[in-house]
Amino acid sequence: MTRRTTTFLRKRECKTTSKPRSRQESYSLPDTRSAALHINENWKRAKEAPAGPIDVIDMFSGCGGMSTGFISVNGERSSFRLAGAIDIDAVANRTYELNLGVKPFQADIGELARKPKLLADTIRKVLPDTSRPLVLIGCAPCQGFSSHRNDAGAMDPRNSLFVDFARIAAKLRPAAIVVENVPELLTDKYWPFVVRAREVLERAGYFVHVGVHNMAEFSVPQERFRALLLAMPKKFKPSRGFLDRAKFKTVRDAIGRLPPVKAGERHSKDAMHFTAGHKESTIETIRAVPPDGGSRPDHVGPECLRRAKERNGRAVYEDVYGRLFWDRPAITITAYARNPASGRYVHPEQHRGLSIREAALLQSFPDDYEFLGSLDESFRQIGNAVPPAFAAYLAAHVLRELSSDEKLADFDPGITAPVGPSFSRLIASLKAGHRKDFVTRDA
């Protein structure tokens, strides 16, 4: 399959090259770092670029974060064609179609995995031409694995979607499989799902690598740790972050150029640049928070927060109503980032929470991306998305690995045992650089 993919790509290159090139120039590939660093510019160039020779199907496509990253690579070299997408979320599907020009099939992935005929019929509609190489990408809903939903535990039906995706991939036999999810997936409680998915793929002939990455190492202006599963039918090199902490993109890099808006107002030139309309008591609390990374003083804010401190004898919920730092990456942007009471989601200077545009830029979406639905629905789509800059890196990395003729003697499977009872407890040591046993970065 890999040899066929490489041959297909090179034949395509010959057909699309108008003048002869030297042997060294005949097959240029997108640079992985450039793909991530220049996601915005590449995205705009990709709109005018022809589709590439490799088909992409996006399952659990959401609002299109992963697809946006893959298609943006076409801005450097026409590599991918978005063959189709599948998601159960009607609002996210509308956003996806608006920005990517492909209407997703609204379907339940779990149902497709359980019904082979329905799966076959759906794939025939999505992918009528099976002669081209295929990359299957996806991000199963992560709420079931969240550290904040331990009451649901392993019985949450959304958790099985991770294995369902692996079963579908084994049937489709793509040239590469890319799966992103929350790192809590790798903890003791949920590790059996990883083991099962890996077994399904390995039995189908795939080499599988599982790792954890900090999105900030891939030029996303946000500290966001994510689990990644990559699989190919040959040995391949794993993806690795390429920025160290001193070079992380910051909040200022992402949103510093945006014009000011007041809480609840919509900017006249950008419909996505508007925020929640806060209560006056919320704005009063925000005004008391020092600019540029300041935290809520103990004596201000809702009474429940002050009572919580009295009960515990120390400050609790310290990030609630906190401001973002201008010159650091943002904290993880979640579906609740619209609400200053949900964490450190207050603008560094202005007395309000984040706008839709600001949250999207902190997730590395292109600056012209639009989101349909209500304010809450827009933030949910953004918070649940794969950061496009990370996806662009993965797209270029997968392309290079598929095109490589290098015969690797060894294969790195990545994480092969659970990371412990909780991933969130490891984050502080990871940020400090004390744990390098399962988070890798290029030198």
The residues carrying an active-site annotation are 142
Q: How far is CA 149 from CA 144, 153, 159, 228, 313, in A?
A: 7, 7, 12, 21, 27
Q: Among 53, 102, 95, which Cα is nearest to 78's?
A: 53
Exposed / middle / buried, residue 381 (Cβ in 10 Å: 0-12, 13-18, 19+)? buried
Exposed / middle / buried, residue 417 (Cβ in 10 Å: 0-12, 13-18, 19+)? exposed
Q: Which two tokens stand for residue 34?
A: 């450039």
The CA distance from 190 to 252, in Å, is: 36
The CA distance from 63 to 265, in Å, is: 24
CB 344 within 8 A of CB 199: no
Q: Which two tokens stand for residue 123?
A: 């794939």
CB 283 within 8 A of CB 263: yes
- In the chain the first and final C-alpha atoms are separated, in Å, by 32
Q: Among 245, 212, 243, 223, which Cα is nearest to 344's?
A: 223
